[in-house]
Chain A
Amino acid sequence: MREFASGLLLLTGALFCLITGIGMLRTKDTYAKLHIGTKCLTVGASLVLLGAGLRLPTGLGTLKVVLMVILLWITNPLATNALARGHFLNSRLEE
């Protein structure tokens, strides 16, 4: 049961990561790239991490993985927000 849940989470997350990679290649606009890098990648990486955490034997490793998921959920939108804000203000200054 635990193996099955872990495999399902791993495959779904890896599929989201792959969609992120394809989207980085396919989209033309900068803001579209930032959009993909925020949402799709946050869900994909956190699903991969949770699936990997279910395979660990006991406590402390799983706690580390859950902390890493929480960190990722906080930091990834913040970093992309800083990039988008910098790009917006920078391109307005150049006009």
Chain B
Amino acid sequence: MTELAFTMVVVAAALCLIRVVQGPGLVDRLAAADALGVMLAAAIVLFGVMEGLHYLLDVGFAYAVLLFVDVLLIGKYLEKGDLHR
């Protein structure tokens, strides 16, 4: 059951990767990259539970936090054209 769910999440991440590569606009690619990152964080945690590697829970947590900071900074840059105002 866990392997099936892991495969489905990774296939969904691959579909998002297609949109990142061939997306028409900048924000399309960014939305797909955000979705890709969240799916990969869930897949990291799922892999850690599946294989019994419990330190991967912390890796997934840090990955989600860094992804949030990244997307927030990119949104601010899109809005103002500068990061310091």
Contact = CB atoms under 8 A, between A and B. Distances in A.
Interface string A1-41: 00100110011011101101110110000100110110001
B78 A86 contact: yes
A10 B1 contact: yes
Interface residues of A, number: 50
Classify the secondary structure of A's interface with B: helix
B57 A65 contact: yes
B75 A79 contact: yes
Contacts of A13: 5, 42
A45 B46 contact: no
Q: Which of B4, B67, B71, B74 counts the most A-chain CB atoms under 10 A from its CB?
A: B71
B15 interface: yes
Contacts of A86: 27, 74-79
Given A20-B16, A64-B57, A75-B64, 15 more contacts: A6-B1, A14-B4, A17-B13, A17-B42, A18-B15, A20-B35, A21-B14, A21-B39, A30-B28, A33-B28, A41-B39, A75-B68, A83-B71, A83-B74, A87-B78
Interface of A: 3, 6-7, 10-11, 13-15, 17-18, 20-22, 24-25, 30, 33-34, 36-37, 41, 44-45, 48-49, 51-53, 55-56, 61, 64-65, 67-68, 71-72, 75-76, 78-83, 85-87, 89-90
